[in-house]
Every structure is written in C-alpha cells, then in structure tokens.
C-alpha cells in the first residue's frame, strides 16, 4: 500500500500524471520487485516513464543506455526542468562539464544518467561505474542487441556481458519493434523471464494505412496530389540522400515548402530543420530514416513512404511517429517495384567478402599485446564499412580475444584566440615551457595548428593524456578553439587468437546469414502490397500478435484490391558500357581491385576506399545502379 501511495505521489508531483498507462504499472512492479523486465511498447506508448518513475523511488542511480543523442538531451532537459537530478555523458560535453557530471555520479547525486552504448565499451568508464550504486539499467532501442533485428548495432552486443560484470540486477529492455525471434534474443542476453515481458498491442486505431502501387514516373505527381489534400505536419521518407534533395526541390517548385533532411547535411542545418519542424515553421520534411529517431512530436498528421521501407520493423517504427496525439493520421506507401533493386544492392554491397575479413583480422591481431587503431583507417585500408569493422571487433571481444580499453582523439586542430604571449602570461615557468613547446615548430595553416598528440608529447616530454588535458584547459580558458580528429580505439589482447583463416570463415558465414535475413525482411515488405487481408492484421501477425477482427481503417478494409509488385524486365548492359568498364578496369585503381569492389562502384554504392579516392566523381559511378548487384558482380568477375 505504501509503495502504491508513493507511486501516485511521485506521478502527480513530479510528472503531473494522475495514473499510469496500460503496461506501465506492470513494468514498474516487476522492477520494484528487483527483477529484470522487457517492455515492448509501440511508439508513443510511454516507455520512458517505466524507468524514470523507479529512478525516483529506488536508492542509487538509474543508468539509461540510448543511441539517440537528441532523445538524451531532450529527456535530460525535461527532467531537470521538473527538478530531477539527471545528466548525460556524450561527445558534445567539454572537459569541465564532463568532469562535473562524473563527479556528481560518483558522489551519488544523480538519479538518472544517460549514456550511449559506445560509452560502456570504455574500460575506464566501467571502472567508475563499479563504484556507483546502480539501482537499474534501462536499455532503449533494445532490438539493436539482436543480430536478427532490423537495426543491429555491434556495441549493443556487448551490453549483456558488461552488465553481468557490473552485477546489475535490474535491467529494463525497451523497444517499439521486436519480432518473436528478436524478443527471445533480448530476453536471453539480459536474462529476462518470459513472464516479466510486458507487450502492448501494435494496433493504432487512429492510423489509416494505405498502399498505392505506382511506376517510377508517376510517383512525384501522386505525392504532390496527396500532399495537397492530406494534413500536415508531414514526413516523406526516402532511401537516398539525393532523392531527399530531388523530391524536396520538386515540392518547393510546386508551391509546397518542403525541406530535405539527411546525414549529408551540416549538423547545424540538420538541427535548424528539426527545430523548425518541431516548432511548426516547417510543415513538410523529406528525409532519410535518419529523421524522426527520438523526435517527440505528437501532431504529425501524415507519413508517406516515397521509397520501399527496409523492413516491416522499420515501416512500423516510421508510421508510428504519426498521430501520437490520438487524432487521425494517414500513412501511405507509394509502392514501386523498381525500389527493390536499390535496397537489395545496399544489402549485398554491405556484406564483406572472406578475403577482406581475413585481411582485416590479420592487421588487427598482429598489432601486439596492447594497441590502438583508427576504425576509419581500418575501414579504408581493408575497404570494409566502419559498421562492419566495429562488428568484427565486437565479435573478437565476445570471444574473449580482445578487451576495449577506451577511445581518444589523436590529433587536434588548434586556433589561438589571442597572441601566444598573452596566453603564457601569469603561468609558471614549467607551464610556459610546455605551452611554448606545443606551438613551436608547428606550421600554421590558415591560423590553425595541427597538433599530433603522440608526436608532440614525445617532443616536449609529457604523457599523451597530460597533453590532452593541457590543450583542453586552454580551450576552457578561452585561449584556443579546438577541432578534434583521428579518433582511435585502444585494445588489450587477452588471449592468442585461433587460426585467423578459420575465424574469417566463421565470420563470413555469419555475415552471409545476416544478408539472407535482410533480404527476407525486404520480401516481407513487398508482401504488404499483395496481401489480401487487412494491412493492420498483416503487420500485427509479423510481431506475433493476433487480431480477431479486421481494423476497418486500411486500404483492404475499404475494398482496395491487392497488387503484386512486379519487377520490370531488366535491361541489358550495352556494348558501350562494357567498353567503359574495361577502360576502368585497365586503369587499375586501388579501390577497384576486386570484382566486388568494382560491382559496388558500378551500382553506385560507396565504399571507404572509393570515397577516399573520390571515385564518385567518375562518370561510371552508379552507371549500372538499375541492375541487380549479383548480375553486375558476375560481369565484373569476367574481367578479373
């Protein structure tokens, strides 16, 4: 009774709620009884309160693990405004702000601390956590832990092992999208009983689901027609950055002020667009899936998928951003069979070959007992995407071969904001000598000095960590502006690896299995257009939920007939194109040294090595992007 009274009191006084929503009470009860729990709530289902409320009722600190920087900042700002002792540790914090948060954490002054999953990979940070009373760890976007999920992140893979080492008893895994297979994977890795899984229905009665089959040349006109009649705010989801720019420009020219949003834009511009959308100044955003994660806007009236979603999980998460205020919202997919080739090509080109994996492993596992590496350099040298490099290193950690020891920047671009003489004034003789040593002998490039940490620390006789602290102190004092670069990850070799060839073979097999899984997910999305039953029912079935009656508010329930998307007959590669490819092959570009590299280039799929050499400027880049990757690879193999 006392606990129930306390829950109601905290709910009312801190959060302004009179009661908990469906599912929240069950999750909170499991956690208060000291057991781990899994909460599978649809987007907007109130997941955050499930850990914020216990944080104020339990002794100690709640650690919240989230991959979403915007979500961390928004939630911390909101909690602090309510008088809750909350903070975050992320890359945007300066040295002093970071130290202040760590101090509050170790003194037991924080009720909630938000960090990224990458932060837990830092051995020094884990050492700090061992001295902290963690009442609960909440893992947001928990589906990222599963290799069979739609958004696997290698840093999540290590969380279960880390929490076991930290002896965390209460773990709350949270997700808005988990199939039965992914759900089982989350429970296994976090040791959550099936009975302590709280799963709410994915059915959103206010969402009107529509699927409109169309040809490529019809799509823009249909989009324009829909946006002229549908309500705003609107998110239009596309696959590629260039498509976002193209479609936003088309809409603007036709009187609909839309803005493009994608990872290729400057950080400041992305922030400006997001804030404009949140504030109501921007009514339409044409975006890649980079937009919407962690954005809490309740009144989005329309979500249109201009391109094929990657999976039913992605589709559900993206349409779930609409109508969170409970009012009617339209979710339409402009289904075009031509999109299939592009997404399949992304899947195929992301899968590393066994030869590339062996090259990567040989480089990493021969660096000695203690070493540090640049993931960017490894990715570029081996021509494997950084996410794949991170996954390989995570596999080696899980196998007990490596242990991550932390990360750091190895180079700084430093700009003096006042004359060096003024910076040195008032400092002790020893400090003056060190600061002068940093800037002596360096070449200024447009008033910026390149300070390479290892070289400079050896030259002036100071430890690298002390040099970093000194440069950070100069920044805090307002003497310099810094730009950090060359991020490196440190590792300890815990045991001698087995046969590298065998490890590469096993990893290559794992990546091929993931490739097959991703292709299957794409097929499931295509099946949404051809299903004869209620669209909502089809979605719910995918997540293991049974719905007795049809929803009554989707295309099938309105009598719109299903339509199986048929791929148009593929064109033949022309003789002229073959000659261009032969000339490219004869040029012997290092970044196009294998058939797979050549196929990725011809299909318009960038790779670390091709980006380094700026091969995207060539006319041949993407010239066969309308053809299946497997066929292009066969053509490339005939040249090698």
Joined tokens for residue 479:
């003497």
Average pLDDT, the chain: 90
Q: Are residues 264 and 301 in the same domain?
A: yes
pLDDT of residue 349: 84
Q: Are residues 109 and 240 in the same domain?
A: no
Q: Are residues 221 and 194 in the same domain?
A: no
3-state percent breakdown (helix, strand, coil) of the chain, nearest 5 = 50, 15, 35
103, 155 contact by CB (below 8 A): no
295, 309 contact by CB (below 8 A): no
Q: Are residues 44 and 181 in the same domain?
A: yes
Q: Are residues 166 and 222 in the same domain?
A: no
Q: Are residues 531 and 580 in the same domain?
A: no
pLDDT of residue 1: 43
Q: Are residues 226 and 86 in the same domain?
A: no
> Within 10 A of 372 (CB to CB), how many other CB atoms are there?
15
Q: Give a yes or no: residue 344 inside a domain.
A: no
Checking if the pLDDT of 236 tops 90, the result is yes
pLDDT of residue 221: 96
Region of poorest pLDDT, from 80-89, 99-108, 406-415, 595-604:
406-415
pLDDT of residue 499: 86
> Within 10 A of 17 (CB to CB), how many other CB atoms are there?
15
Checking if the pLDDT of 512 tops 50, the result is yes
pLDDT of residue 444: 56
pLDDT of residue 515: 92
Q: Give a yes or no: residue 569 inside a domain.
A: no
Q: Cα–Cα–Cα angle for 107, 111, 114, nearest 5°? A: 100
Per-residue pLDDT averaged across 471-484, rounded?
83
The count of structural domains within the chain is 3
Q: Give a yes or no: residue 435 inside a domain.
A: no
Cα–Cα dist 64/172, whole Å: 9
257, 282 contact by CB (below 8 A): yes
Q: Give a yes or no: residue 596 inside a domain.
A: yes
Q: Are residues 191 and 246 in the same domain?
A: no
pLDDT of residue 291: 74
Answer with the one of 166, 199, 232 that is the final residue of a domain. 199
pLDDT digits (tens, 9 = 90+) for 239-281: 989 999 999 999 999 999 899 999 888 888 988 998 899 999 9
Residue 54 burial by Cβ neighbours in a 10 Å radius (0-12, 13-18, 19+):
buried
Answer with the one of 142, 165, 199 that is the final residue of a domain. 199
Q: Are strands 234-237 and 302-305 parallel, antiparallel or unpaired?
A: parallel
Cα–Cα dist 280/230, whole Å: 16
Q: Give a yes or no: residue 443 inside a domain.
A: no
- 233: preceding bond cis by omega (within 30 degrees): yes
Q: Are residues 73 and 91 in the same domain?
A: yes
Q: Cα–Cα–Cα angle for 295, 296, 299, nearest 5°? A: 115
Cα–Cα dist 588/356, whole Å: 18
Q: Are residues 275 and 217 in the same domain?
A: yes
Q: Output the pTM of the full model.
A: 0.84
pLDDT of residue 409: 84
- pLDDT band at residue 406 under the 50/70/90 scheme: confident
340, 527 contact by CB (below 8 A): no
Q: Give a yes or no: residue 547 inside a domain.
A: no
Q: Are residues 260 and 186 in the same domain?
A: no
Answer with the one of 170, 199, 228 that is the final residue of a domain. 199
Residue 608 burial by Cβ neighbours in a 10 Å radius (0-12, 13-18, 19+):
buried
Domain of 283: which CATH number?
A: 3.40.50.300
Place of tokens 């102190």: 473
Cα–Cα dist 52/75, whole Å: 10
Per-residue pLDDT averaged across 206-224, rounded?
95
As beta bridge partners, residue 370 has 492
pLDDT digits (tens, 9 = 90+) for 152-173: 888 898 899 899 999 999 999 9
Joined tokens for residue 162:
């880390």
Q: Are residues 20 and 40 in the same domain?
A: yes
Give the containing element (helix H, strand E) for 123.
helix 123-130
Which candidate, 515, 512, 550, 517, places its Cα nearest to that of 531?
550
Q: Are strands 444-445 and 448-452 parallel, antiparallel or unpaired?
A: antiparallel
Cα–Cα dist 590/453, whole Å: 30
Non-local (6+) Cβ contacts of 333 within 8 A are 210, 211, 212, 304, 305, 308, 309, 315, 528, 529
> Within 10 A of 310 (CB to CB), how many other CB atoms are there?
20
Provide the residue range defining the domain that includes 153: 2-199
What are the counts of helices (DSSP H) followed by strands (DSSP E) for the chain? 27, 18
Cα–Cα dist 617/621, whole Å: 7
Per-residue pLDDT averaged across 68-72, rounded?
77
Q: Give a yes or no: residue 373 inside a domain.
A: no
Q: Give a yes or no: residue 357 inside a domain.
A: no
Joined tokens for residue 295:
């954005």
608, 386 contact by CB (below 8 A): yes
Checking if the pLDDT of 521 tops 80, the result is yes
């Amino acid at each position: 009774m006392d606990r129930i009274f306390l829950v109601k009191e905290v709910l009312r006084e801190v959060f302004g709620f009179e009661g908990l929503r469906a599912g929240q009470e069950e999750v909170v009860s499991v956690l208060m009884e000291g057991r781990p729990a899994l909460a599978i709530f649809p987007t907007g289902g109130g997941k955050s309160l499930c850990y914020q409320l216990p944080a104020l009722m339990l002794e100690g600190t709640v650690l919240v693990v989230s991959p979403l920087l915007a979500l961390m900042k928004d939630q911390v700002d909101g909690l602090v405004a309510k008088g809750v002792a909350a903070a975050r540790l992320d890359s945007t914090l300066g040295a002093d702000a970071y130290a202040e948060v760590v101090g509050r954490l170790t003194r037991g002054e924080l009720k909630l601390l938000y960090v990224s999953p990458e932060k837990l990979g830092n051995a020094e940070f884990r050492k700090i956590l061992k001295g902290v009373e963690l009442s609960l760890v909440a893992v947001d976007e928990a589906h990222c832990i599963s290799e069979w999920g739609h958004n696997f992140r290698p840093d999540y893979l290590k969380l279960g092992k880390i929490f076991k080492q930290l002896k965390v008893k209460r773990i709350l895994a949270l997700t808005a999208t988990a199939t039965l297979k992914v759900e089982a994977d989350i429970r296994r890795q976090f040791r959550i009983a099936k009975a302590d899984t709280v799963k709410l229905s994915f059915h959103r009665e206010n969402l009107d689901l529509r699927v409109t089959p169309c040809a490529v040349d019809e799509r823009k006109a249909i989009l324009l027609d829909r946006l002229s009649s549908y309500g705003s705010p609107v998110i239009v989801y596309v696959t590629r950055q260039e498509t976002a720019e193209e479609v936003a420009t088309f809409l603007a020219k036709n009187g609909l002020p839309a803005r493009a949003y994608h990872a290729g834009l400057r950080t400041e511009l992305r922030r400006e667009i997001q804030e404009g959308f949140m504030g109501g100044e921007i009514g339409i955003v044409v975006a890649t899936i980079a937009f919407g994660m962690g954005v809490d806007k309740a009144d989005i009236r329309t979500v249109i998928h201009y391109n094929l979603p990657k999976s039913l999980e992605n589709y559900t998460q993206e349409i779930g951003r609409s109508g969170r205020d409970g009012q009617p919202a339209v979710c339409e997919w402009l289904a075009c069979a031509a999109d299939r080739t592009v997404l399949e090509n992304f899947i195929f080109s992301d899968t590393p070959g066994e030869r590339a994996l062996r090259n990567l492993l040989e480089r990493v596992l021969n660096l000695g007992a203690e070493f540090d590496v640049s993931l960017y350099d490894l990715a570029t040298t081996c021509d494997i995407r950084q996410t794949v490099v991170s996954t390989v290193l995570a596999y080696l950690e899980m196998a007990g071969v490596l242990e991550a020891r932390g990360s750091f920047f190895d180079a700084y671009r430093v700009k003096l904001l006042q004359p060096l003489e003024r910076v040195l004034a008032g400092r002790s003789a020893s400090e003056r000598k060190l600061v002068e040593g940093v800037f002596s002998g360096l070449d200024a490039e447009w008033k910026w000095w390149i300070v390479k940490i290892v070289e400079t620390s050896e030259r002036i006789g100071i430890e690298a960590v002390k040099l970093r602290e000194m440069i950070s102190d100069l920044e805090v004092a307002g003497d310099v502006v810094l730009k950090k670069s060359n991020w490196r990850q440190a590792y300890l070799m815990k045991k001698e690896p087995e046969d590298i060839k065998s490890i590469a073979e096993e990893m290559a097999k794992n990546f091929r299995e993931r490739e097959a899984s991703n292709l299957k997910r794409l097929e499931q999305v295509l099946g949404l257009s051809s299903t004869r039953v209620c669209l909502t029912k089809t979605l719910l079935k995918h997540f293991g939920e049974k719905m007795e009656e049809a929803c009554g508010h989707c295309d099938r329930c309105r009598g719109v007939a299903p339509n199986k998307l048929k791929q148009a007959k593929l064109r033949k590669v022309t003789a002229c194109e073959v000659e261009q490819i032969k000339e490219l092959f004869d040029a012997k570009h290092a970044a196009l040294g294998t058939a797979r590299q050549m196929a990725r280039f011809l299909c318009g799929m960038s790779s670390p090595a091709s980006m380094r050499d700026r091969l995207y400027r060539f006319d041949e880049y993407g010239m066969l992007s309308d053809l299946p990757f497997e066929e292009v690879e066969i053509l490339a193999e005939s040249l090698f």
